[in-house]
Chain A
C-alpha cells in the first residue's frame, strides 16, 4: 500500500497526496491526490523568496483576478492554474487541478499503439510535425483542420487573457500547452513560471523552437547586461505565432534549408533561430526555403511550401503570419497581439468550408476567394452553388460599412448573434442566451435557404419583405439582407459562386 500524506496549504486548506511520484519535469515532481482530482507538485530545488512571493500571487491575487469574475469559469478549461501553495518537509509545492481526461491519448499511436503512448499526455509536438502525424499518431487522435483552428483559437484566447492581466507566460511551447485536436481543445499549463514586468523576472529563456530571435541573439550576455533580452509579452507573441503556424501547417516557420555555419551546428542553430532568423516563406528572400529534395517523404506535402503556402490559412491569418515572421520577426513591437490572433481565428472559422471528398484527411478548408474554390489539402474542387455572405454593420442609422468579415454558407451552417451584431464577439463574455443559434442555412432541391430561428428584424432589403421567426428566405446573388437593426446591427450582401 502506498502512503497517503496529509498536510495543509499555506491558506489553511487540508490536502492529501499519495507518496509516490507520478511525473517529473525539469522543475517539479508531481503526486496525485488519493482520488486523483488534483495534483500536488513539489519543486525539486529550493525556491528563493521572490519565487515564493510570485507563487503566492499566482495562486492568490492573479488567479482571483481571472477566475473570480463574471465568466471566470470559462477559463477553467483553458488554464491549469495552481490553486494553492504549501510547504512540506522543507519543500515548496503547489496544488493544481488534474489535467482533464481528453488531454491523454485514447488510442495513441498507429498499429495497435506500437509506441506505447496510450494514456500519455498529448504533447503538442505529436500534432505539429508532419512526419509524426503521418507515420506514428493514430488517425483517430489527429482531428480535422477545423479542430486545429479551434485549438489555436483557444490558445490565442488564453494568451490574450494573461496579457490583459499584465502577465506573460514566458515559456509557451508545445510542452506547456496541452491540446486535443480530436475535439479542438487546448489548455495552458505550467503557469507558475509566469513573468510580471518590472516585478517577477523570468526563470527560463524558453523552449527551443519557440524562443524569440532577440532572446536567442542575446543569450550569451550576462543576465544583468542592459542589452540582454529576456522573455516578456512580446516573446510570448513570437511563441504564439510559431505555435499557430505549426498547428495549422505542421512545419516550423524558421526551419528551412539555409546553412549559416558549416563547421559548428550549435552556432548554425543559434544563428538560424536568432540573428539570421528568416521566414521559410519570405516573399522576396528565398534563401531559407525548405528544400523539398532533402525532406522525408512523410513530411510531405507539408514541407512543400509551394504546394501548401501559408496563404491557405486564409486572408486574416496570412496577414498576421506575415507580420509575425517578416516585419515582426526582428522587431518585437510589430508582432500581432494575442487579441488580433483571436479575432483573425474567429473570422477564419467563418470562412471555412467542408471538403466534398469524404476521405479528405483535413475535412475542412478556407474559401480561397476565387470563383473556382478547391480544397488545398486533397485538391477536390467545390461543385455547385456556394453562397458567400459579406458582412456590413451599422455605425449610424441607415448607414452600413464593410466589416472585412465574410461568412461561408454550407448545409448546417449556423447563424449566431455575433454574426447579426458586430458589437457582440464570440468569446468568454457571451451569456448562455447569446450562445444560442439564431438561424441556419440549408440546401434544398438546388436552392439555398436561410431559416430564421431568433432574428426579429430579419428582412430582405430590396423588396422590404420581413422574414418572421420560423420563416425562410431563399438566397440569391446580389441580395441584401438585414439581420438586425440598431447599433452594430448587420446587413449581409450575398455573393453566389457557381462552380
Chain B
C-alpha cells in the first residue's frame, strides 16, 4: 500500500521545424503511449506524467498528473521558431523542486523521476542549456534518455546531458511510435522479472531506434 509515485517527465520539441508530419506523429505516438501505459496495472498504480513543450519558450503543457487522469489534446507547433531546450530544462528544474516528494519519517517519497527528451534540432539557447545541465544532474533522475529525431538533430549537445542518446532516422509515425513504445516499456520495466546481474534497467530499443553510446 501507499504505493510510491513514479514521476515521468517528457520534454517535447515543438519548434517550427516540427510542424507538419513530425508533430502529428508525435501526437499519435503520445496517445498510443498513454493507452499502452494505462493497460499496465503497475504503471496505473504508480506513474505520474508531466509534459513540457519548448519552442521559443518553454511551457508546462501537462503538470504532474496521475496516469489515469491524464488528458492531452493535440500539441501544436508554431510556423517557425527556435529550440529553447535550455529554458525547458530550467522549467523542469522548477517543477521537479516543486513536485517531487521526499521521504519523511512517516511517508514514503517518490521513486527517482524519469526524464525523456525529444528534439529534432539543437538548443538555440546553448548557454542556458549548459548552465542547466549541472542543476539537472543534481536532481538525481533515475534515468535520462534523449531522442534526436531526424538528421538535423545534434547529438553532441544532448550527450552533454546524458550518455543515453537514441536517434530516429526518420520523423514519421512509425519511428515516433517506436520511440514512445520504448518509453512505456522503460516505465514498466520495474515490474518485470529482474536479472541476476545489476544491469541497465532499460529494455533494448526497438529496431527503429539507434542507441548512440
A contact patch SS: loop
Given A259-B106, A261-B103, A303-B1, decide whether A208 and B191 contact each other with a Cβ distance below 8 A: yes
- Interface: B78 (CB within 8 A): no
Q: How far is the CA of A326 from the CA of B153 in the complex (A)?
A: 56
State whether A208 touches B194 (Cβ < 8 A).
yes
* A291 touching B193, Cβ below 8 Å: no
**Complex: chain A residue closest to B194, CB-CB:** A205
Per the 8 Å Cβ criterion, residues 96-147 of B in contact with A are: 102-112
Residues of B with C-beta under 8 A to A44:
204
Q: Which of B10-18, B33-41, B79-87 contacts A (4 or more CB under 8 A)?
A: B33-41
Q: Give residues of chain A (287-304) contacting chain B, Cβ–Cβ below 8 Å.
A: 290-291, 294-295, 299, 303
Known contacts A203-B195, A204-B196; is A123 also within 8 Å of B41 by CB? yes
Q: Which residues of B contact A257 (CB under 8 A)?
A: 2, 106-108
Centre residue among B35, B44, B68, B102 by max chain A CB count within 10 A: B44
Residues of B within 8 A of A291 (CB): 2, 106-107
Contact B195 A205 (CB under 8 A): yes
Q: Is B182 an interface residue (CB 8 A)?
A: no
Give the interface SS of chain B, mostly helix, strand, loop or mixed: loop
CA distance A94 to B211 in the complex (A): 30
Q: A265-B4, A294-B107 are in contact. Are A230 and B41 (CB under 8 A)?
A: no
A252 touches B105 (CB 8 A): no
Known A252-B1, A259-B108, A268-B103: A125·B193 in contact at CB below 8 Å? no
Contact flags B196-207 to A (C-beta < 8 A → 1, else 0): 111000011000
One of B2, B42, B204 near A255 (C-beta < 8 A): B2
Chain A residues positioned under 8 Å from B104 (CB to CB): 259, 262
CA of A120 to CA of B44 in the docked complex: distance in angstroms?
A: 15
Asked if A125 and B41 sit within 8 Å, CB to CB, the answer is yes
Residues of chain B within 8 A of A251, CB atoms compared: 1
B94 CB-CB contact with A under 8 Å: no
Q: How far is the CB of B69 from chain A (nearest CB, A)?
A: 11
Given A255-B3, A265-B4, 16 additional A-B pairs, CB 8 A: A26-B192, A116-B38, A116-B39, A129-B45, A132-B44, A202-B196, A206-B193, A207-B191, A220-B198, A223-B197, A255-B2, A257-B106, A259-B107, A259-B108, A265-B110, A266-B112
29 examples of A-B residue contacts, CB within 8 angstroms? A115-B39, A117-B39, A120-B39, A125-B41, A129-B45, A132-B44, A193-B193, A204-B193, A205-B194, A207-B191, A207-B193, A207-B194, A208-B191, A208-B194, A223-B197, A257-B2, A257-B107, A257-B108, A259-B103, A259-B108, A262-B105, A262-B109, A263-B103, A265-B103, A265-B109, A268-B108, A290-B2, A291-B2, A303-B2
The 4 A-B residue pairs with the shortest CB-CB distance in the complex, in nearest-first order: A125-B41, A204-B193, A303-B1, A290-B1
Binding site for A on B (CB under 8 A): 1-4, 35, 38-39, 41-42, 44-45, 68, 102-112, 190-198, 203-204
Q: List the interface of chain A (C-beta within 8 A of B).
A: 25-26, 44, 115-117, 120, 123, 125-126, 129-132, 135-136, 171, 173, 175-176, 193, 202-208, 211, 219-220, 223, 230, 251-252, 255-257, 259, 261-263, 265-266, 268, 280, 290-291, 294-295, 299, 303
